């Protein structure tokens, strides 16, 4: 009886897995940001781009659905000098940050997407999942030296100016987006995609809340908190605490398909 149950279980596993294909791939493209600093007009989100790359692994367990894991390396940046609003320009904030993003999620194909030796198949797709990322916002001081902003507590974090602790340099994000991919024979797949990340932090750019009392800040913290032309007004809005930051990866993916080996039944179960 036990042998029969094991035999049925192996048959169940070997059926789908023998047809299942895994994919390993690479990503080349750009990364960008949308938040409290920089361009404040439609289309501005695409103007500040930095080079990005990544690695992707997929399990295609259905013609319409794939499980996907990835790791992306990129950077984001923005400068108030690029804004159209004069008040934002006068604020004169800027930042840059490297990002390492590890993601798990699913791809949903609009059409059947299978490998065929003599026929090319294509489909648009949607992607959604969850990400964990690391970042470190930096900016140049008056002497043109790049400094880490988190440790300075520019909005009074970790000082008597605020009851807020310093933020973490890692956070979760919710990725979602779309793409289009095409098969080339049985082995290769080429795609283009735009995947946004809704960061679960408002400090990707080190800007979130209000100007702190400079009497509680170090001279360097005060300089980086308000490098602009206006005098610091305690409690004045420095960013938008109601909206968290966003970042994205846009580019081309190239994948190589690996056919799984069929599961062989042990001889003792066949007896």
Domains belonging to the chain, first-starting first, are 21-259 (2.40.160.20)
Q: Using CA atoms, how far apart are residues 206 and 94, in angstroms rounded to an integer?
A: 9
pLDDT at 268: 53
DSSP calls for 127-153: EEEEEEEEE--EEE-TTS-EEESGGGT
Q: Which residue, chain included where needed, has tokens 């008597």?
A: 160
Instruction: Note down pLDDT in tens along the chain; length 271 residues.
Output: 445 533 433 443 444 444 458 999 999 999 999 999 998 776 777 778 999 999 999 998 888 999 999 999 999 999 999 998 899 999 999 999 999 999 999 999 999 887 666 667 899 999 999 999 999 999 999 999 999 999 999 999 999 888 899 999 999 999 999 999 999 878 899 999 999 999 999 999 999 999 999 999 999 999 999 998 788 888 899 999 999 999 999 999 999 988 766 555 555 545 5
Report the pLDDT value the prediction gives residue 137, as an integer from 0 to 100.
98
- Count helices and strands in the chain by DSSP H and E runs: 4, 10
Q: Which residues pair with 100 in a beta bridge?
A: 73, 134
- What pTM does this model have? 0.85
Distance CA 12, CA 210 (A): 59
- Give the Cα separation of 226 and 206 in Å (integer): 12
Q: What is the pLDDT of residue 12?
A: 37
Cα-to-chain-centroid distance, residue 236: 31
Is residue 227 classed as helix, strand or coil in its secondary structure? coil
How are beta strands 146-148 and 138-140 bridged, if at all? Answer: antiparallel
């Amino acid at each position: 009886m036990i042998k029969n149950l094991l035999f049925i279980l192996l048959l169940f596993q070997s059926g789908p897995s023998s047809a299942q294909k895994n994919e390993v791939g690479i990503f080349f493209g750009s990364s960008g940001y949308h938040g409290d600093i920089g361009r404040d007009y439609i289309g501005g989100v695409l103007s500040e781009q930095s080079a990005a790359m990544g690695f992707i692994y997929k399990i295609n367990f259905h013609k319409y659905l794939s499980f996907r894991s990835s790791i992306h390396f990129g950077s984001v940046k923005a400068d108030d000098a690029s804004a159209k609003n004069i008040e934002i320009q006068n604020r004169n904030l800027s930042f840059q940050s490297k990002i390492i993003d590890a993601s798990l999620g699913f791809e949903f194909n609009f059409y059947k997407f299978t490998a065929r030796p003599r026929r090319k198949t294509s489909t648009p797709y949607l992607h959604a999942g969850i990400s964990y990322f690391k970042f470190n916002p930096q900016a140049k001081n008056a002497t043109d030296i790049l400094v880490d902003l988190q440790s300075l507590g520019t909005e009074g974090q970790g000082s008597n100016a605020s009851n807020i602790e310093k933020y973490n340099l890692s956070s979760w994000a919710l990725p979602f987006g779309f793409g289009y991919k095409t098969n080339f024979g049985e082995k290769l797949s080429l795609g283009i995609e735009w995947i946004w990340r809704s960061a679960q932090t408002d400090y990707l750019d080190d800007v979130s809340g209000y100007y702190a009392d400079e009497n509680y800040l170090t001279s360097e913290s005060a300089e980086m908190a308000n490098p602009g032309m206006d005098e610091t007004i305690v409690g004045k809005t420095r960013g938008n605490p109601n909206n968290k930051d966003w970042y994205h990866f846009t580019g081309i993916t190239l994948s190589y398909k690996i056919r799984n080996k069929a599961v062989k039944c042990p001889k003792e179960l066949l007896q």
